[in-house]
């Protein structure tokens, strides 16, 4: 299975800028890595069009969606509306859990909705600094994994990606903290173990488990090697094609 490198552009770039950037990223030529760009919702249709008319190796992710297919949900973008535009979708990113009060139950409904239209769900989990200080990191993350995957049939598990991202290490929250690779490794093992508890040892190996949180070209390889991650989810360092390319280069050297 190829490693996954996911860029999260968050709430950056106009549709025109996003397409321009997507075209720049399309020139990357991964040999052993699958590249996914989580683009701003407003640019999804433009990017899907750019993707269809090119030979790009990039796949596209939505950063969010509403699990209702359509209906009276003003300002929302439903799963049916992103169907055909995205290959993957982020679910339960900590910025959504915190700013938009998304719950584990919402995440479970989104995972099911994504699978219903053959979009790969990327379930994001991770403890806050408060959870960690209270010694609850493992408990919280196990609960998020169990709740988020509660409705997944075991024959669909291979389509699911889980990203462990400690909230306190995500650059957008202004924290200066960076997770020690050993801590990331410990928590990725917890995520793997929880999936094993839920689905059994063999099935659990089908899920790609990623690390995310202040990943940059200098620490990317160490995180992958030490935590045995199947890939990385990158925010800030993915806004610029050069830093993203440097991360990709480090990953390509690993396998």
Residues marked as catalytic = 93, 165
- Give the residue with the Cβ less far from ligand PEP, 7 or 82: 7
* 78 close to 105: Cβ distance less than 8 angstroms: no
* 182 close to 226: Cβ distance less than 8 angstroms: yes
* 63 close to 10: Cβ distance less than 8 angstroms: yes
The vertex-253 CA angle with 88 and 167, nearest 5°, equals 45
- Give the residue with the Cβ less far from ligand PEP, 52 or 176: 176
Q: Considering only the stretches 20-28, 181-189, 197-205, 234-242, report the one whose residues sit in contact with ligand PEP under the rule CB under 6 A.
A: 234-242
- Give the residue with the Cβ less far from ligand PEP, 126 or 149: 126
Q: Should residue 222 be labelled a site residue for ligand PEP when binding is judged by CB under 6 A?
A: no
Q: Should residue 217 be labelled a site residue for ligand PEP when binding is judged by CB under 6 A?
A: no
- Name every residue whose Cβ is closer than 8 Å to that of residue 64 and which is 6 or more positions away in sequence: 41, 77, 89, 90, 91, 93, 96, 100
Q: Should residue 190 be labelled a site residue for ligand PEP when binding is judged by CB under 6 A?
A: no
Q: Should residue 181 be labelled a site residue for ligand PEP when binding is judged by CB under 6 A?
A: no
| Tokens linked to 47 | 């990017």
Q: Considering only the stretches 41-49, 71-79, 151-159, 167-175, report the one whose residues sit in contact with ligand PEP under the rule CB under 6 A.
A: 167-175
Q: Should residue 159 be labelled a site residue for ligand PEP when binding is judged by CB under 6 A?
A: no
Least distance to ligand PEP from the beta carbon of 130, Å?
Answer: 18
User: Which residue in 137, 233, 241, 248 binds ligand PEP (CB under 6 A)?
Assistant: 233
User: What DSSP string runs through 150-218?
Assistant: TT--GGGGGG-EEEE--GGG-GGGT------HHHHHHHHHHHHHHHHHHH-HHHHTTSEEEEESS--TT
Q: Should residue 170 be labelled a site residue for ligand PEP when binding is judged by CB under 6 A?
A: yes
Q: Should residue 224 be labelled a site residue for ligand PEP when binding is judged by CB under 6 A?
A: no
Give the residue from 65, 2, 8 showing the smallest Cα distance to 213: 8
Q: What is the SS3 assignment for 17?
A: helix
- Give the residue with the Cβ less far from ligand PEP, 181 or 235: 235
User: Which residue in 104, 159, 165, 230 binds ligand PEP (CB under 6 A)?
Assistant: 165
SS (H, E, C) 87-113: CEEEECCHHHHHHCCCCHHHHHHHHHH
Q: Should residue 206 be labelled a site residue for ligand PEP when binding is judged by CB under 6 A?
A: no
User: Which residue in 171, 206, 222, 243 binds ligand PEP (CB under 6 A)?
Assistant: 171
- Give the residue with the Cβ less far from ligand PEP, 131 or 165: 165
- Name every residue whose Cβ is closer than 8 Å to that of residue 93 and which is 6 or more positions away in sequence: 8, 63, 64, 124, 165
Q: Should residue 175 be labelled a site residue for ligand PEP when binding is judged by CB under 6 A?
A: no
* Interacting residues with ligand PEP (CB under 6 A): 8, 165, 170-172, 212-215, 233-237
């Amino acid at each position: 299975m190829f490693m996954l490198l996911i860029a999260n552009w968050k709430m950056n770039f106009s549709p025109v800028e996003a397409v321009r950037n997507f075209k720049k990223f399309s020139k990357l030529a991964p040999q052993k890595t699958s590249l996914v760009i989580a683009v701003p919702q407003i640019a999804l249709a433009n990017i899907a069009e750019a993707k269809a008319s090119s030979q790009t190796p990039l796949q596209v992710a939505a950063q969010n969606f509403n699990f209702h297919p359509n209906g009276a949900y003003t300002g929302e973008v439903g799963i049916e509306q992103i169907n055909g535009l995205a290959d993957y979708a982020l679910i339960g990113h900590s910025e959504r859990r915190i700013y938009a009060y998304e719950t584990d139950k919402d995440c479970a409904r989104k995972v099911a909705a994504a699978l219903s239209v053959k979009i790969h769900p990327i379930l994001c989990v991770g403890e806050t600094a408060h959870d960690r200080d209270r010694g609850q990191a493992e408990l919280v993350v196990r609960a998020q994994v169990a709740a988020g995957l509660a409705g997944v049939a075991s024959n669909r598990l291979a389509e699911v990606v889980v990203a462990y991202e400690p909230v306190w290490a995500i650059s957008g929250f202004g924290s200066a903290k960076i997770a020690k690779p050993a801590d990331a490794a410990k928590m990725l093992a917890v995520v793997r173990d929880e999936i094993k508890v839920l689905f059994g040892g063999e099935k659990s190996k089908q899920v790609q488990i990623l690390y995310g949180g202040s990943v940059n070209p200098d620490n990317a390889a160490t995180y992958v090697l030490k935590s045995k991650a199947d890939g990385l989810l990158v925010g800030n360092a993915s806004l610029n094609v050069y830093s993203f390319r440097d991360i990709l280069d480090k990953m390509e050297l690993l396998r």
